[in-house]
Structure 1
Amino acid sequence: MFARILKNGSFHDVVGYVTRQFHDPKEYTPDTWRIIGSDNIFTSDYAKMVQSFEAIHGFMPGKENPAGHISISFDNADAPRLTDEFMAQLAKEYMEGMGIKDSQYLVVRHLETEHPHFHIVYNRVNMSGKAVNERNNFKRSDKVVKALKDKYGLTYSPLKEKYEQKKPVFKAKISAAIYGCKSWDEFTRRLACAGIDVKFHDDHNTGEHIGVKFSDGDITMNGSKIDRAFTYRRLNNLFELNRKQGQSRAAAPTPQPKVRVEYTRQNTSSLIENVAEATIGAIGNLFTLGPGFDPEEQAFQNAIKKEEAKRKRKSRKI
């Protein structure tokens, strides 16, 4: 048993798909599908079913894409047990576990495929005119499916087991590849080295990328199924942020390291100080009076020198 929560849409589109209104009637004949369960829906024809849903949606006309859509598939090993009644019971218990209560629904079984499966179409506006609580519906779905498989002994699909085993491997490789990544090209090259290919889902009208999935050649997973952080929009925003931060760092001036020089005062005198002291000491000695100096003797000698000088001047005049 494996549940897929599909894209919500209008009742015209979703009901039309499950009842094969838009398929080739030669290939999809009335015996390739049948309604096996419903509540508060006129099931006589396609138009009455759509009108029944839209009448309740009128309580909340602003609710976009009001038709919820879920596909539930089974392993071929369980095929002998899968009567219409048993499938309808499983659909009802699944919706109760998902919190889809007091709301219109339609259960349609498809018979043309290899694996047994059915589709649930439900009104996202309940009979009280309030929105159905769909918070954490992906995680909740996994828990409800596991509980039903354990309760009824349904087969755990080998493909599902392989999917769950590889999911953490994909997550680890993608988490490593996005570190500091600035573009999808860089991201794609990094993952290619890890054995993972990146594929895009494009808008049919604009051709722009709107989704991303990853493949190892054996299993392909949507980014949102691996982790909600791996949607195309969130990854694109992350790469843009990393690119802007890289440009900001490149434009900012490189800070110069601050160097602090500390001087240690030496206790011993430097060579220059020693030379200066020696020079000053030598000059000072010129003005130092030596031992045995007599002031009176010096005055007498000076007087004699003056008298001799006077006599020499007189003799020159004569």
Structure 2
Amino acid sequence: MIGHVNTGKSFLGCISYDLEDKQELSEEQKKAMSLKDGLQHKNRAEVLAYNKCFGNKYELAEQFRDVAKLSRRVEKPVFHFAIRLASGDQCTRDELLKIADACVKEFDVKDNQYLVVLHKDTPQPHIHIVANRVGYDGKVAKDSNSYLRMATLCRRLEKELGLTAVLSPRKFLSKEERLLPRQDNRKLKMREDIKNCLKQAHSLDDFSRRMQQAGYNVIKSRGISFIDDKKVKVKGSELGFSLSKIEKILEAKKILGLTQGTLEIEKADRGQEYMKMPYKSLPVSPNAPTQLERSIAEVISTTTSQVAAAAANLVAELFQAPYPTPDEIAAAEAMQQYYRYNKKKKKKRGYRL
């Protein structure tokens, strides 16, 4: 179970998102997507519960705003919760309501206005809760430590309902739990698609075109990012394929005269291990450039009959991001903690005139 919590200013905007269909999709697109994946894109939202509110989105927003006026100090009176089940988990309507009830209790808005909505346009069921942080007594529900409270709530509900256990965000885990493997199926698929397109591409424009054909939107600026069909944006560096690395792969293929269909990667692929590591950005080994230069020099110095084998090894080496060893990870984390500690000391120490 994965939970998100946000605060905001607009009740109407939040309620509209939860109750309405996706505005960027036409009626024909909704029908086509429904037939393709078997999900409900038309009338995707179902209201599971109203608490001290009723009506359409305009009436609901007006009621929420009227109560929010009881507190003049709160700037963001909207509480928005989203809770999604893990892959393979299913819950009944009563169990989803139990999850919603536990959530509003945890964030002290059970006696306030709130709305529980079920969305049916994703493979895994997920609910949204729009709540008023301001109660009828004028008191405002606190939003401090909201991410930790949501993570703790999800872990407790997983045990109570017998659902798949999911790791909390890394910053809430102990040192031992941070070493547990994490897996993001979305990023794993994206990384495999990037590798397949790189094997066939001859230039950066050709690579971008092939990625678009695979269903991704490619954004290039100082770096490179990829957006999938669910509008999720991921940086190439998080996948082990930064813009500079992609350019090196394509340049190496160009220099060595590799043609489509001749590339065979023989070395073990460490990408799967990388995606399971609990870090989004990992330190790069400093000797990677020298390895690349040495490999190119070896290719240039080989005889004609050995070029093909050396070229395959070179591109295979480029495909493998220079992932750090566990000792390098521990050293990098210790260095980060050292700088954070000294930065706090400098702020506290200050200057005296």
Q: TM-score scaled by structure 1?
A: 0.49
